[in-house]
Amino acid sequence: MKHNLILRIVSKFLIPFIFLFALYVQFHGDFGPGGGFQAGVIFSAGLILYALVFGIDIAKQIIPPTLLRLFASLGVLIYAGTGIASLIAGGNYLEYGVLGSTQIAGQHLGILLIEFGVGLTVMSVMLIMFFAFTERHKED
């Protein structure tokens, strides 16, 4: 699809908005519909669109597969780590209330952190899957 001018221009125009929307869904999940899971999928959709239009190899230069594997584990680690942090702060596992100065502040912080972890893992895993499938295709 490298020679398809309209597709290139339109996706160039669209991709920043897809990323922006993903970030909005990620951090506005407390107030509107959405959250880490949806945001991760939307973010990876933006990158997949980029990979489809401009080529897999260029997309891999932007976000190398090794980095993706790191991110996927990091997301789970952030989530589980938030639980450990609340243990250390004197609460139960994943009891966010103790993380902040007040119950509400702690809950906000905790939810923000674990949603970020979810988003990171989902985004990375979706891209790992996509790259795995396309990589295999290229070899044959």
Interface with another protein (CB under 8 A): 25, 29-35, 37-38, 41-42, 44-45, 48, 69, 72-73, 75-76, 79-80, 83, 93-94, 96, 103-104, 107-108, 110-111, 114-115, 117-118, 121-122, 124-126, 128-130, 132-137, 139
Q: Which positions ≥6 away from 65 have C-beta within 8 Å? A: 128, 131
Closest CB to another protein among residues 60, 108: 108
Cβ-count burial of 40 within 10 angstroms (0-12 exposed, 13-18 middle, 19+ buried)?
Answer: buried
Closest CB to another protein among residues 8, 56: 56
Say whether 33 sits in a helix, a strand or coil: coil
Closest CB to another protein among residues 62, 104: 104
Closest CB to another protein among residues 54, 79: 79
Rounded to a whole number of angstroms, the minimum distance from the CB of residue 72 to another protein is: 5
DSSP 89: T
Rounded to a whole number of angstroms, the minimum distance from the CB of residue 12 to another protein is: 19
Q: Where are the alpha helices (DSSP H) in 35-102?
A: 36-54, 56-62, 65-88
Rounded to a whole number of angstroms, the minimum distance from the CB of residue 89 to another protein is: 15
Calpha distance 39→112 (Å, rounded): 13
